[in-house]
Structure 1
Amino acid sequence: MAIIFAVPYAVWRVCRTDYWAPLVVVQIIAGILLGPGVLGKAVPEFHATVFTADVITALNGIAWWAVMLFVMIAGIELDVRKAWHNRRETGVTAGLALGLPLAAGAVVAMGMLGFDGWIGSQGLPWQFVVGVGMACAVTALPILILFMEKLEILRAPMGQRILRYASLDDIAIWGVLALVLMDWERIGRQVAFLVAFGLACIVFRKLMRAVPMRDRWYVMLVWLAICAFGADWAGLHFMVGAFLAGVVMDAEWFEQEAMDLLRHHVLLVVMPVFFLSTGLRTSWDVGGSAVFFAAAALLVASVAGKLLGVRIAGRLLGWRPGEASIIGWLLQTKALIMIIFANILLDKRIITSETFTALLLMAVASTMLTIPMVTPKLRTPGALRTDAADPAGRLRQP
């Protein structure tokens, strides 16, 4: 635990990496470096002494709870009502921002299928292609919020628009994941879970409205554990249950400042353990150069697909020059949600550790590009000028 918290913080603070690698990114990179592929190869005796089987089991337990909390908060922060109110603009932008990088990533995944060592033992080709493609299309809503706070645009009109696009993509991401994880041999359990979840939501929402504010936090945690367990029992994975637990809750049930503090504290106190446990799952067995080549191909597919999709949306909706570039790069933020997504694919043996490592490197590089690419663009005069939308959904200058 001392290593987990001391090493990334020291690098972040001493090297002043915040502009190109915020602390959360440094923690992810530290997890990779402390894993078996780097530290384990350099000093195997030390690695084996520190990261024993019992230690890894304990760390995994903390990591699972941390990521369940984080995914639930991401679900709570989704505001589907705002997306629906601006449905044409949001639907066009979110659809293109998700669809083009997904298609580009799927093309790379099909190429990877031609070589051994990338598809998992339980994965079908279509699951691998769709899973890797979706990993290229993911936008990490919670990290996007942190980045926009840092850039001081979260409450600006453009920031609120970007949140709508990312929210709709977040729903699509978890929907596709549920489809990929659908076990047709256990379909009865999964249908039973979804029916039970729907009925339980009715009771849960009435209960949350009835109880005092101070009790909602405790009820929320019990609800999270039950939903995660039910999804895992059905074969959908506990993180799908955690997202569903959050998405059916209204943000208005909690004080916004308190929810923001909870998200920050989860990132501070327990998520670093998840980053390390993620790094411990990396592998370079197919060869370091092959992993880096796959990561580079996936990065190109992710970045080019996202930027092209948002640029097409900007043309269709009549955005001002420069808007599409800012929005495209901010939606490029992947980090946590992509890593969580890839962890699930690895748990279900749809991908191998080598594919997981390539996706992890892609997510880190993609996220590190965001702040350096966006900051100069925001300094352009009029970059954050207020936008308005007419009833047809086409943006006009006020």
Structure 2
Amino acid sequence: MLTTHQVQWLFLGLVAVLVLGRLFGAGARLLRQPAVVGEILAGILIGPSLFGGALADFLFPADTRPLLAAFANVGLALFMFVIGYELPFDELRGKARVALRISLCSVAVPFVLGVLLALYLVRDHHVHSQTGFVLFLGAAMSVTAFPVLARILTDRGLDRTRLGGIALAGAGIGDVLAWLLLGLVVTVNGGTGQARLLLVPLGLAAMVTLVRPLLRRAFTAVDGNGGTTGPLVAVMAGLMLSCWAAEWVGIHFIFGAFLFGTVTPRTERADVRSELTGHIESISSVLLLPVYFVLSGVRVDLSGIGFAGFGELVLILLVALAGKFLGAFAGARLSGIPRLQSTALAALMNTRGLTEIVLLTAGLELGVIDASFYSLMILMALVTTAMTGPMLRFLERRAGGDARQLGEFEYERQGFRGFVAG
């Protein structure tokens, strides 16, 4: 049972997260950055990097942090569901081959470079499994944050353009590949209940053959009577069960939430879809996710980074930027996309944001990476995300100052000659 002290500081901690998240998120938006950048920075500034973590210890006492983490995990489950539910399957119509080529290139190149970097860095970090660390860094370098990318496209007026559709489809495919890679890392790293992992294929089959039809019936009932309470309860119950099942078989609950989102049927009624995701996002984005991101920032400790750590950070940034940029640019040029728009796609695919933070936090909790490496990777995620907006504004000026001119294009020659042609 919770003590009075824990209850008091739990509520005070939530107030602190609301205020800090709101202030720093608003500051990030003024700088044309996603709110998550400000929320992470808020956690870093009150964490051990400054003042030895005294401010964080005051706002979030040790005996209340597990309670705040529980809130954060619920918010993360809701967030991962929405990611899966909003994967742009419709965008693949007419763009599947191009999006798949860009996505594969933008995952394969940074993955290989990340693996090579990990082989060089692994001896300097205390990790549970060297193989797990190597595969994890490859996966972490391959991530594109689909939700942040979608918001950037909307803010820039590119979401309804050909460029925006290809970017959304490519990022959606890349997200699926990234979570598959992380699942491989969890398996190699030796998660709990290894024998239970054999049940994963059965669970996936059950989701497709049993859960999806049941949810479709619930949505059909909505179409008949107009209410959304029943389907919302069904989705929430199914989501929690899916998260429990993922943890039970020995993988992280984020996989259960993400997969449940992908199998949840998309009702034909846009108002029902928006109301469903609106209810979930209003619960998670206002309070629960800021708790997650502020606490993620609190875990970052830059006080002892030193010269060696700074050198590692430079290498991580170089590999992250070069891998994603070269991979996405090559995939776009090989698909016949003009050079300017290929550069824009490469910039967009470098957006890591929320998805990267989730992946890194999961890696830290699973013991795949240590605290010092986590801190460096968080900085990489912030830098690569913050660069996307300025790069797009520069490219828009090159296209004549109009986002529409950047977003619409005609395909050029495909193949190697098209790749090297100006």
- TM-score (ref. length: structure 1): 0.89
* Residue 161, structure 1, aligned to residue 166, structure 2: yes
Please point out which of 193, 203, 206 is paired with 2:210: 203
* Residue 2, structure 1, aligned to residue 12, structure 2: no
Corresponding residue for residue 190 of structure 1? 197
* Residue 326, structure 1, aligned to residue 339, structure 2: no
**Letter of the structure 2 residue corresponding to residue 62 of structure 1:** F
**Residues 232 and 208 (structure 1), Cα distance of their counterparts in 2 relative to 1, 3 Å cut:** same
Query: 1:295 deviation in Å?
Result: 2.6
**Letter of the structure 2 residue corresponding to residue 22 of structure 1:** P
Corresponding residue for residue 257 of structure 1? 274
**Letter of the structure 2 residue corresponding to residue 210 of structure 1:** R
CA distance in 1, matches of 2:304, 2:40: 22
Corresponding residue for residue 308 of structure 1? 326
Corresponding residue for residue 225 of structure 2? none
Query: 1:294 deviation in Å?
Result: 2.2
Query: Any idea what the Cα deviations from partners look like across 1:301-358, whole Å, max 9, x if unmatched?
Result: 1111111112212331221130111111111111111111111111110110111111
Please point out which of 40, 48, 65 is paired with 1:36: 48
**Residues 231 and 8 (structure 1), Cα distance of their counterparts in 2 relative to 1, 3 Å cut:** closer
Please point out which of 122, 136, 139 is paired with 2:141: 136
Mapped contact 1:40–1:48 kept (Cα < 8 A): no
Corresponding residue for residue 178 of structure 1? 183
Please point out which of 278, 284, 293 is paired with 1:275: 293
Residues 46-61 of structure 1: matches in 2 within 5 Å?
46-61=55-70
Query: 1:39 deviation in Å?
Result: 4.3
Query: 1:388 deviation in Å?
Result: 6.5
**Residues 161 and 387 (structure 1), Cα distance of their counterparts in 2 relative to 1, 3 Å cut:** farther
Corresponding residue for residue 222 of structure 1? 237
CA distance in 2, matches of 1:207, 1:362: 42
**Residues 10 and 192 (structure 1), Cα distance of their counterparts in 2 relative to 1, 3 Å cut:** closer
CA distance in 1, matches of 2:200, 2:214: 20
Mapped contact 2:37–2:353 kept (Cα < 8 A): yes
Count of aligned residue pairs for this structure pair? 386
Structure 2 residues without counterparts, runs of 5 or longer: 1-13, 223-227
**Residues 322 and 220 (structure 1), Cα distance of their counterparts in 2 relative to 1, 3 Å cut:** same
Query: 1:3 deviation in Å?
Result: 2.4
**Residues 353 and 161 (structure 1), Cα distance of their counterparts in 2 relative to 1, 3 Å cut:** same
Which one is further off, 342-351 or 285-294? 285-294
CA distance in 2, matches of 1:47, 1:187: 36
CA distance in 2, matches of 1:67, 1:377: 34
CA distance in 2, matches of 1:247, 1:16: 30
Query: 1:391 deviation in Å?
Result: 12
CA distance in 1, matches of 2:277, 2:154: 11
**Letter of the structure 2 residue corresponding to residue 261 of structure 1:** G
Corresponding residue for residue 297 of structure 1? 315
RMSD (Å), alpha carbons: 2.6
**Residues 272 and 199 (structure 1), Cα distance of their counterparts in 2 relative to 1, 3 Å cut:** same
Mapped contact 2:338–2:410 kept (Cα < 8 A): no
CA distance in 1, matches of 2:288, 2:191: 35
Mapped contact 1:39–1:47 kept (Cα < 8 A): no
CA distance in 2, matches of 1:85, 1:196: 31
**Residues 146 and 16 (structure 1), Cα distance of their counterparts in 2 relative to 1, 3 Å cut:** closer
Corresponding residue for residue 148 of structure 1? 153
Corresponding residue for residue 245 of structure 1? 260
CA distance in 2, matches of 1:10, 1:348: 31
2:337 partner SS: coil
Residues 231-242 of structure 1: matches in 2 within 5 Å?
231-242=246-257
Structure 1 residues without counterparts, runs of 5 or longer: none
Which one is further off, 202-211 or 181-190? 181-190
Residues 364-375 of structure 1: matches in 2 within 5 Å?
364-375=382-393
Mapped contact 1:119–1:128 kept (Cα < 8 A): no
Which one is further off, 279-288 or 338-347? 279-288
CA distance in 2, matches of 1:11, 1:178: 33
Mapped contact 2:336–2:414 kept (Cα < 8 A): no
**Residues 256 and 331 (structure 1), Cα distance of their counterparts in 2 relative to 1, 3 Å cut:** farther
Corresponding residue for residue 31 of structure 2? 19
2:140 partner SS: helix
1:252 partner SS: coil
Identity of aligned residues (%): 24
Mapped contact 2:122–2:130 kept (Cα < 8 A): yes
Query: Any idea what the Cα deviations from partners look like across 1:169-228, whole Å, max 9, x if unmatched?
Result: 111011111111114884430122431342243221111121223122211111111111
CA distance in 1, matches of 2:245, 2:25: 39
Mapped contact 2:216–2:265 kept (Cα < 8 A): no
Which one is further off, 296-305 or 164-173? 296-305
Corresponding residue for residue 95 of structure 2? 86
CA distance in 2, matches of 1:140, 1:281: 21
CA distance in 2, matches of 1:368, 1:317: 27
Residues 81-120 of structure 1: matches in 2 within 5 Å?
82-83=91-92, 85-115=94-124, 118-120=125-127
